[in-house]
Structure 1
Amino acid sequence: MRGTRSDRRPSNPALGPLTFDVHFLKHGRTRYVVRGRHIRGSFVVIPVAAKNGPVLPETVRVQFSCDGDGDFWRSPREDEPFVHNVRVHGWTDGIDPDNPPLGWYLGRYAVNLRDNGIERELPTGARRRTEAVVQAVVRHWSRLPERAALVLAAATTRAAEYAEHEAELAAEQEAKAASAQAERARVRVRSWLYAVNGISRRRPRPRGPLRPGWVPVSLVDDKGLGMGALRVREVEFSEALPGAVVYEVEGCRLAGRFTVGCDQWRPEPLPQGVRVTYGHVEDSSPFCHEHPHEPRVFGVRIGDLWECEAAKITASSPGRLAANVRTGVRARMSASDAAERRRRSRSGG
C-alpha cells in the first residue's frame, strides 16, 4: 500500500492537525511522511524482536529519516524530521505499539544534529513535541490492517540469526543437562545410594558360626614359586572392628594371628578393599600401636598393618607389603626380604 493519507490529531493540542503519508517498505518497515504546523519529515516504524525474547516482534523502533536502516551515523540523513526548526536525528526503540509511553521516553540515540555535525541534546520543547508525534505515528501503525504481515516480514529478515542464537542456547542447556546428569551418576556411584538405603532398611542377619578346624594353605612368592605350606583357622569375629575376622596361622618358622576386614576409613559409605592388621585386634585396643599375638617370622615379631583394593590381591601380588620388626637387631625397622616374602605370602594369599 502506498500513498495512503490520514489526518490525525495527537493528544497534544499544540501540534495541531498532522497529515500522514504512509509507505510500506521492505522487511516490514513502514515510512510515515508527516506534515503539520512546524513539523515535517519522515518517521519509519520498524518491528524489532529482542534476543532471548518472543520470536515475533512485540515492540517497535521509530527511525528519524526516510530510510529504515537502524545504524547511527554522525551525518544528516534524507528527510530527517524538523520539529520547530530542530533537526531530530537517530532513533528511539522499545516502544509497545499497543500502549506507547506518554512522555520522556526518547532513547539516548534521539538527538539534535547541527549542520556542522555536532550532536546536542534535544531542547525540552522539541523533545516533548517529537514524543507526541511518535505516539501518534505508533498508534496509527498499531491499527493498520497489515500489521500482522509487517511483523512477520520483519521477523523473517532475522529468522536465521535468531534460529542460530536459539540453537546455541539449546546446545548450552543440553551440555549443562548432560553435565548435571553425569555428576548425578557419579554421586550415585560414589555414595552407593541404593545399597546404603537397602542396608539401612534391613534387619541384621544372625552371624554364622566360625568354620571349625584348620585349613591347609599353600604359599607362593611374587614369582609364583612354591614356599611350602601352612595351616589357618578362624579364631573369632572381631568385636573391635565390625566385619573383620581374626585368623591364626601356623607353619614352618611362622606363627601368629592376623585381623582381616574391609577398610572402614575410606570416604565411601560402604567399606572397600582389604585391611590386614598384624595381631589380634581386641576391643580395648583397636587403634593400639601393638596388638597381642603378632606373627613371628623366623623368630622375629612383625607388626603394623596394610591395606589394598581387593581386586589387586592374588596369590602372588602385591609383590611387597610393609611390615615393621618389633624385636631383635632390626627393631623398629622394616622386616628382611625373606621375612617379608613369607609374611606377604600368608597375608596376601
Structure 2
Amino acid sequence: MVIPEAAKDGPVLPETVRVQFGCDGDEDYWRTPRQDEPLVHNVRVHGWTDNIDPDNPPSGWYLGQYTVNLRDNGIERELPPGARRRTEAVVQAVVRHWSGLPERPALVLAAAATKAAEYAEHEAVLAAEQKAKAASVQAERARMRSRLNTVNGIARRHPRPKGALRQGWVPVSLVDNKERSMGTMNVREVEFSKAQPGAVVYEVEGRRLAGRFTVGCDQWRPQPLPQGVRVTYGHVEDSSPFRHEHPHEPHVFGVRVGGVWECERAGKITASSPGRLSADARTGVRARMSASDAGERYCSAVLRALALHYLARPDRPALQLAAAQNNALSQRARAREALRTLRGEQRRAEGASMRHRLREAEYRALGGSGRSVRLHA
C-alpha cells in the first residue's frame, strides 16, 4: 500500500509516501502479521518504510527500521540480505508505478484532507503563540527605547558640582550582623577617584585595621542611573579599575585582604546587613583563599560602615550622575544593540505567525471544500 505522508509541520500537500507491507488493518498495525503481507524469498516482510520521494525513489539500502521479518511466534528479525535487496527493488517499482498514475493528485489531496482539520488547529495554535511572542517583543522594544531615551538624557545633562572632601578623621561605629558593637574605626577621605567617576577613596585606621577602600556607585549594573554601591579593597588607580589587586589594600588582623563587594540596591544596606561579605586573604597561611572567619566578620562590618558613610554624603546625586555619565556610551551602545536584536526577533515572530495563518487557511480549505491548494513548504 502506497500512502501519501500528511505530516504535521510538513508540506500542506504531501510530497513523500509511505509504503506499507500488507493492506489490511490500521496504518500502525504492529507485532501482528497482516494476512496479505508479501513473502520475498519465502520471508514474510512486515511493517513499513517511509519518507520516500515518489519522483526520485532511493536506489538501495533504504528500508527503515520498521521493515522487518516478523515470525509466526511474534519475534522480529532483520531481513536477510537477499530478501532485503529484492524487497527494495519491488518497493522502487511500485512507487514508480504509483507516481505515474493519473489519479495521483487526487490521492495526495485525499490524504491531506484526512488530517486537514487536526493540522489546521495545530497551525492556529502556532500562529497564536508567535503572535503573542511578537507582542511581548514589541513591549520589550518599548521598554528598551525608554531606557535609551533615559541614557541619552543622562548624557546630555550638565554635571552637578561635587561637594568638598571632608577634612580630618571621622570616627565611625562598627557592628556585626547581630548588631553587636565591634568598636570604632577612623575614616579619612583621601580623594575623588579618577578611575571610577563618582567614587571616593577612603583611608581607615582602627583596632588592627589600616589601609584604603574605594567606594562608589555600582555603575556596571543595568540601571541607567546606578542605584547600588561598589566597594573595592585598596586605592583604585587610573590604570585599571578591574585589577585583581590594588595598591594600599587594607591589613586586618595582620593579614592583607582584598576583593570587591557590589550591592545592586543601596536601600538593602544597613549597619548589620548584608550579614557576611567576602574578603580574600593576600598574605598569611590563608593566602589566595578567603580570610578567616574573624577577619571576614570584621571586614564585613567595615564594608557596611563605609558604604553607609558614602551614601550619607549630601552630594550623592552628583556622584550618581558622574558615574552614570561615565558609563553612558557603553549603556547607549548596549541599548541600541538590544533594539536591533529585538527588532529582528519581532519581524521573525510576525513572519512566522503569518506563515502559520496561511497554512491554517490552506488546511481549512482542504477540509472544507476539497478544492486544491498551492503547495506550501
TM-score for both structures, normalised by structure 2: 0.47
Matching residue of 2:202: 32
Contact 1:65/1:81 (<8 A) preserved? yes
TM-score for both structures, normalised by structure 1: 0.51
CA distance in 2, matches of 1:131, 1:177: 46
Matching residue of 1:42: 212
Out of 248, 254, 264, the residue aligned to residue 79 of structure 1 is: 248
CA distance in 1, matches of 2:328, 2:371: 57
Matching residue of 2:165: 2
CA distance in 2, matches of 1:190, 1:63: 59
| Letter aligned with residue 212 of structure 2 | S
Superposition map of 1:174-189 within 5 A:
174-189=343-358
Contact 1:98/1:139 (<8 A) preserved? no
How far has the Cα of 1:171 moved from its partner? 1.6
Q: Which runs of 5+ in 2 are unaligned?
A: 1-163
CA distance in 2, matches of 1:102, 1:271: 72
- SS where residue 44 of structure 1 aligns? strand
> What is the CA deviation profile of residues 41-84 of structure 1, one whole-angstrom value per residue up to 9, with x for unaligned ones?
11111212455x321112221111012544243x6x32111112
How far has the Cα of 1:113 moved from its partner? 0.3
Contact 2:209/2:250 (<8 A) preserved? yes
CA distance in 2, matches of 1:10, 1:117: 25
CA distance in 1, matches of 2:241, 2:341: 30
How far has the Cα of 1:133 moved from its partner? 0.7
Contact 2:236/2:247 (<8 A) preserved? yes
Superposition map of 1:282-293 within 5 A:
none
> What is the CA deviation profile of residues 276-327 of structure 1, one whole-angstrom value per residue up to 9, with x for unaligned ones?
xxxxxxxxxxxxxxxxxxxxxxxxxxxxxxxxx7xxxxxxxxxxxxxxxxxx
Change (3 A) 1:95 1:175: closer
> What is the CA deviation profile of residues 76-132 of structure 1, one whole-angstrom value per residue up to 9, with x for unaligned ones?
x3211111212111222226333326254324xx30102799413201111111110
Change (3 A) 1:158 1:103: closer
Matching residue of 2:186: 19
CA distance in 2, matches of 1:59, 1:190: 51
| Letter aligned with residue 7 of structure 1 | P
Aligned Cα root-mean-square deviation (Å): 3.1
How far has the Cα of 1:160 moved from its partner? 1.4
Contact 1:44/1:62 (<8 A) preserved? yes
The structure with the larger Rg is 1
1:168 aligns with 2:337: yes
Contact 1:63/1:70 (<8 A) preserved? no
Change (3 A) 1:95 1:54: closer
Q: Which runs of 5+ in 1 are unaligned?
A: 197-263, 275-308, 310-349
CA distance in 2, matches of 1:117, 1:127: 12
Change (3 A) 1:15 1:123: same
CA distance in 1, matches of 2:274, 2:345: 44
Matching residue of 2:273: 102
Contact 1:15/1:37 (<8 A) preserved? no
- SS where residue 266 of structure 2 aligns? coil
Contact 1:45/1:62 (<8 A) preserved? yes
Change (3 A) 1:105 1:58: farther
Contact 1:72/1:90 (<8 A) preserved? no
Superposition map of 1:292-311 within 5 A:
none
Give the helix-richer structure, 1 or 2: 2
CA distance in 1, matches of 2:233, 2:182: 18
How far has the Cα of 1:14 moved from its partner? 5.6
- SS where residue 71 of structure 1 aligns? coil
| Letter aligned with residue 121 of structure 1 | S
- SS where residue 16 of structure 1 aligns? strand
Out of 282, 294, 318, the residue aligned to residue 125 of structure 1 is: 294
CA distance in 2, matches of 1:105, 1:166: 34
How far has the Cα of 1:25 moved from its partner? 2.0
% identical equivalent positions: 23
